Amino acid sequence: MNKTPDIRAFRPEKLFKPRNFIKPALSQKQYLEIGAGKGMHAMQFAEANPDKELIAVERTKNKFDVFAQRAKELKLDNLTPVHADALPYVVHAFPAKSLDGVFLLYPNPEPKSAAQRWLNMPFFEFLLSRMKDGASVVLASNIESYIDEAEQQARELWQLPVERKVIPKTSSRTHFEVKYLQRGELCQELVITKPEGYQTRFDY
């Protein structure tokens, strides 16, 4: 059994439902993408995995509008684009142990605000609580210090197993990934897995 992480507990009761919130009907194979941008990965994933459902959340209106329009044209019935801040959305949309996987692809690096990086946030514990045992978070970045810090936080603060991989130069999952790889930058990803029996303060 893991011990309580040394970080203040997230306060889900403080977050109101996002505007126009619709509670999603969840599937047995439910995935979540946070910060989906214009939805390139979300649409590829939904097309390639017709047996899986993806809810892809994007907070920035103009990116979301492009994503929603393209997704509508593709008529992918296993993809739900959502315009919302992921924190209140996750609080209100998902019960404990409902997610099979989470994608955090090229999150904002937040160079001046370490507290805003995903694995440094109390919210990360809540996100873990929404995942099934055995589910993984895939976190990709072109910023080595972001990956170094996230890997350390995953192992030491959250006590989670992590796999670290170099993303092949031919990969093209997101607009940011394409841009960084074309520039010759090193892109890496962490696959952070929630082990069997892992406990959080939100397992209800």
Please, which residues bridge with residue 31 across strands? 54, 101
Tokens 């995953």 belong to 154
What's the rounded Cα separation, in Å, for the pair 161 and 58? 27
Looking at beta carbons only, is 58 or 151 nearer to ligand SAM? 58
Residue 113 CB, nearest distance to ligand SAM (Å)? 12
Residue 36 CB, nearest distance to ligand SAM (Å)? 6
Whether residue 33 contacts residue 90, with contact meaning beta carbons closer than 8 Å, is answered with: no
Residue 195 CB, nearest distance to ligand SAM (Å)? 26
Looking at beta carbons only, is 36 or 160 nearer to ligand SAM? 36
Q: Is 134 helix (H, G, I), strand (E, B) or coil?
A: strand
Residue 160 CB, nearest distance to ligand SAM (Å)? 21
Whether residue 194 contacts residue 134, with contact meaning beta carbons closer than 8 Å, is answered with: yes
Looking at beta carbons only, is 108 or 199 nearer to ligand SAM? 108
What's the rounded Cα separation, in Å, for the pair 30 and 94? 10
Residue 43 CB, nearest distance to ligand SAM (Å)? 12
In the Cβ-directed half-sphere of 161, how many Cα atoms lie within 13 Å?
A: 9
Residues that bind ligand SAM (CB under 6 A): 34-37, 57-60, 63, 85-87, 105-108, 174-177
Looking at beta carbons only, is 53 or 58 nearer to ligand SAM? 58
Looking at beta carbons only, is 37 or 81 nearer to ligand SAM? 37
Residue 44 CB, nearest distance to ligand SAM (Å)? 12
Looking at beta carbons only, is 118 or 198 nearer to ligand SAM? 118
> Residue number with the shortest CB distance to ligand SAM?
35
Whether residue 35 contacts residue 58, with contact meaning beta carbons closer than 8 Å, is answered with: yes
Nearest one of 175, 179, 177 to 167, comparing CA atoms = 177
Nearest one of 154, 136, 55 to 100, comparing CA atoms = 136
